[in-house]
Amino acid sequence: MSPLDEPIDDYLPQNGNRGYRVSRYELDLTYKMSSNRLAGIAEITTVTTGARERFALDLSQSLAVSKVFVNGAKPAKYVHQRGKLVITPRQKIPAGGALVFTVHYAGPPRPVRGPWGEVGWEELTDGVLVASQPNGAASWFPCDDHPSSKASYRISITTDSPYYALANGTLMRKQTKASQTTWVYEQPEPMAGYLATIQIGQYRKQRLDAPRGAVPMHALLPLRLRAAFEHDFARQPRMMEVFAEKFGPYPFEAYTVVVTDDELEIPIEAQGISVFGANHCDGRRGSERLVAHELAHQWFGNSLTLRQWRDIWLHEGFACYAEWIWSEAAGGPSADQLARSAHRSLARQPQDLTLADPGAELMFDDRVYKRGALTLHALRLTLGDAAFFDLLRTWTARYQHASVTTGEFTDLAGHYNPVPLQPLWDAWLFARPLPELPPRPAFEARSSTG
C-alpha cells in the first residue's frame, strides 16, 4: 500500500486524503430541481505536507468530472474511480507549497450508501436536504472528507426562484435573474466537510424572539407549521442562554433551525444549522430534548470536532448530556434522575461496547450516546458542579474551532481533581462492563425526597 492509500481513519478507511491540508473551499453550484442535476466548480485551496506526484480528493461517482486545474495552469491529468478523484499536477509541488485544485463537475447527486444508511445530498418531496455525517460530503462536492480536515467555505448556490436556499454561514449576497436566484454564503470559521450543508425548500424565514444582544436565531419552515413551531421552539432562546452559561459563549455568529415539510427519522446538525422534520414540530414540545441535543452540537461536534471517529462520544455523549442539563434547567427531571434512569436501562443491555473505541459498526449506537452522557455525569459527581462546568467552559474555549481527542479531554479534566481520574476513565471509557454511578450528593438526595 502506497502512502497515498494509507487510511486516515480505520473507521472510514476510504475517506480522507494525505499530502495536503485544506484551508478553504469556494463552491459555485447550480441546481435544477426538476431534473435533480447539480453542476459545480469547486476551488480548493491547500498547502502540501509532502512532495508527491499525485493527490486525491473524495468525490462520488454519480458526479462526472469534466476538467481539473492545478494552480490555474493548463488542465491536469486525473482519474476518477471508486469515489476518489486522483490528480496529477503537471509540475511537482514541493512540501509546503501552495496547491489549488479547481474541479468542474456535474451530475445527479445521490446519497452515499454505507453501514449507517444513506448520507449526503437527498431529494425531498419538494426540495433538498443535505445531511452528510459521517461521509456524505463527497456526494455533492470534491473534498477531503474527514472531520479532522477543517476549512473556511464560500458556498454559492443558484436554483429555481420560488425556493429558499440555505447554506452555512452568513448570507452575503442574493441575486435574482429571470427564474433563478443565486445565494452566496460565507462560513469563516473552520468547518469539517460533513458539516457543510445546503437546504432548499418552499420555506419562510422568521426570526426567533430573544433578548437584546442575544445570539441571532432564525427559522426556515413551511407556513403550515408556523403555529406549532412557535410553541415547540419557544424556549430555544432560553436554552441558548443556559448552554452559553454552562458551556461558554456560542461559537458562531448565528443559529438557524430548518423544519422540512417532510418527516425525518432523526434531526441532524450542520455548522450553525439544525434540521428537523415536520414530525418534530407537533405543537406539544414532544421533541424538545432533540432541540437541546442539536443545539449542543454547535459546541460539541461543530466547534470542537473529533480528530478520529472512534472519539464519537465527544460529540454524542456531550449532546446527550446537554439534554439532561436542559431538563434540569427547565424544571423537569434533574440530570441525576435522568442519568440513573439511563443507567438502569443500559444495565439491561449487552455489555460489549468500549466507549472510547466502539468500532465503526457501533459508533452511532444509542449506547454510545447514553454511556457518554453517563461518563460526564460520573465526572460531574466526582468533581462537583463548580469544577465540572469550569472544565467544560475551558474545554470549549481552549479548543474552539479545532480538532480534539479523548486524551486531550481526560488530560484537561485531570487538572480539576486533586487525585488522579484514571480509575474513572478506565471504568467508563476503556472497560466494557457498565460501572456504577457515584452516589448523589447528600443535599440533592434530600431535596429529591423532600
Q: What is the pLDDT of residues 85-138, one digit of tens each?
A: 999 999 889 999 999 999 999 999 999 998 888 999 999 999 999 999 999 999
How far is it, in rounded angstroms, from Cα 237 to Cα 431? 39
293 is in an annotated binding site: yes
Residues 164 and 259 in one domain: no
pLDDT at 443 over 70: no
Handedness of CA 348, 353, 359, 364 (dihedral sign): positive
In a domain, 120, yes or no: no
Whats the size of the chain, residue-wise?
450
The string of pLDDT tens digits covering residues 334-350 is: 999 999 999 999 999 99
Q: Is the pLDDT of residue 3 over 70?
A: no
Looking at the DSSP bridge assignments, the partners of residue 270 are: 273
User: What CATH number does the domain containing 265 carry?
Assistant: 3.30.2010.30
| Burial classification of residue 220, based on how many CB atoms lie within 10 Å of its CB (0-12 exposed, 13-18 middle, 19 or more buried) | buried
pLDDT at 73 over 90: no
Q: What distance, in Å, lies between the first and last C-alpha atoms of the chain?
A: 65
Pick the closest to residue 376 from 330, 325, 331, 415 (CA basis).
Answer: 325
Total domain count, the chain: 3
Cβ contact 236:201 at 8 Å? no
The three cell numbers of residue 416 are: 480539576
Which of the listed residues 154, 178, 195 is the one where a domain comes to its end?
A: 195
pLDDT at residue 330 in the model: 97
- Per-residue confidence (pLDDT) for residue 441, from 0 to 100: 72
**Is 118 inside any structural domain?**
no
Residues 252 and 338 in one domain: no
445 φ, ψ to 5°? Answer: -60, -40
> Domain ends where: 195, 215, 249?
195
Confidence bin at 447 (pLDDT 50/70/90): very low
The runs of H, that is alpha helices, within 50-149 are none
Q: What is the CATH number of the domain that holds 80?
A: 2.60.40.1730
Q: Which residues partner with 152 through β-bridges? A: 24
Q: How many helices (H) and strands (E) does the chain have?
A: 10, 22
Q: What is the pLDDT of residue 5?
A: 65
Q: Where does a domain end: 172, 195, 218? A: 195
Using DSSP's 3-state secondary structure scheme, residue 137 falls into: helix
pLDDT at 211: 82
Residues 24 and 166 in one domain: yes
Q: Is there a single domain that holds both residue 134 and residue 77?
A: yes
pLDDT above 90 as % of the chain: 92
312 lies in which domain range?
305-449
* In a domain? residue 125: no
297 marked as part of a ligand binding site = yes
Does one domain contain both 236 and 338? no
Sorted by sequence, the CB contacts under 8 Å of residue 170 that are 6+ apart come out as 185, 186, 187, 253, 254
pLDDT value for 445: 47
**Cα separation, 85 vs 263, whole angstroms:** 34
Residue 335 lies in a domain: yes
Q: At 116, is the secondary structure helix, strand, or coil?
A: coil
Which pLDDT score is estimated for 442? 53
pLDDT in tens, 192-222: 999 999 999 999 999 998 888 899 999 999 9
Residue 369 designated active-site: yes
Segment 152-162 mean pLDDT: 97
Over residues 371-410, the pLDDT tens digits come to: 999 999 999 999 999 999 999 999 999 999 999 999 999 9
231 is known to lie in a ligand binding site: no
CA nearest neighbour of 375 among 352, 354, 404: 354
* Lookup: cell for 314: 465527544
Q: Which of 11, 194, 250, 369 is catalytic?
A: 369
Q: Is residue 119 part of a domain?
A: no
Give the integer Cα–Cα distance in Å for 274 and 285. Answer: 16
CB 425 within 8 A of CB 406: no
Residues 353 and 437 in one domain: yes
One domain, residues 284 and 156? no
Backbone phi and psi for residue 346, each to the nearest 5 degrees, phi listed first: -65, -30
How far, in Å, CA of 358 to CA of 333, rounded? Answer: 29
Clarify whether 294 is annotated catalytic.
yes
pLDDT in tens, 280-314: 999 999 999 999 999 999 999 999 999 999 999 99
pLDDT tens column, 29-68: 999 999 999 999 999 999 999 989 999 999 999 999 999 9
- 379 in the same domain as 403: yes
| CA distance readout (Å), 40 to 68, 108, 136, 285, 398 | 12, 11, 17, 40, 36
Residue 448, pLDDT > 60, answer: no
Is 122 inside any structural domain?
no
- For residues 189 and 214, membership in a common domain is answered with no
Name which residue leads in pLDDT, 441 or 3: 441
Peptide bond into 134 cis (omega under 30): yes
The number of beta carbons lying within 10 Å of the beta carbon of residue 213 is: 5
Instruction: Check whether residue 291 and residue 363 sit in a common domain.
Output: no
Considering 288, 294, 323, 408, which one is annotated as catalytic? Answer: 294
Please compute the mean of the pLDDT values over residues 250-266 and round it to a whole number. 97
**For residue 1, pLDDT beyond 60:** no
Q: Give 450's pLDDT tier (boundaries 50, 70, 90).
A: very low
pTM recorded for the entire structure: 0.96
Residues 93 and 190 in one domain: yes
Are 150 and 227 part of one and the same domain? Answer: no
Mean pLDDT of the chain: 95
